[in-house]
């Protein structure tokens, strides 16, 4: 069974990610909460915060490893390709601030 404190922390991280980070498709902004990607992303990023291994290259590796299906699954692109650079910067800032508060 997962630690309730860990679950709550991941949920809080997911909420922040979902509210601030979005996919940009043809200048449409689809927030990660609406795409149901905020929780899986938070679950993958959380260990970086607790292990003290938060680094931009590690975050980029995680973003690169999450495939996003387009066109009903006809094509897949990595999450990092759909996040504008400013969202990637905002994500790093969010993670650094979240880690400080932990």
What is the domain extent for residue 55? 4-101
pLDDT tier for residue 20 given thresholds of 50, 70 and 90: very high
Please, what is the average pLDDT of the chain?
A: 95
Rounded Cα distance, 62 and 44, in Å: 7
Q: How many domains does the chain have?
A: 1
- Residue 53 corresponds to which tokens in the numbers above? 């291994």
Measured CA to CA, the distance from residue 31 to residue 23 in angstroms comes to 6
**60-86 pLDDT tens trace:** 999 999 999 999 999 999 999 999 999
Cα angle 63, 60, 41; round to 5 = 35
* Structural tokens at position 66: 């999450």
């Amino acid at each position: 069974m997962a630690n309730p404190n860990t679950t709550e922390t991941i949920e809080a991280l997911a909420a922040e990610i979902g509210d601030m980070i979005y996919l940009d498709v043809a200048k449409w902004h689809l927030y990660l909460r609406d795409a149901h990607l905020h929780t899986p992303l938070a679950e993958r990023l959380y260990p970086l915060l607790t292990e003290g291994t938060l680094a931009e290259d590690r975050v980029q590796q995680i973003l690169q490893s999450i495939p996003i299906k387009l066109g009903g699954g006809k094509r897949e692109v990595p999450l990092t390709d759909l996040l504008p650079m400013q969202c990637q910067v905002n994500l790093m800032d969010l993670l650094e601030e979240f880690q400080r508060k932990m």
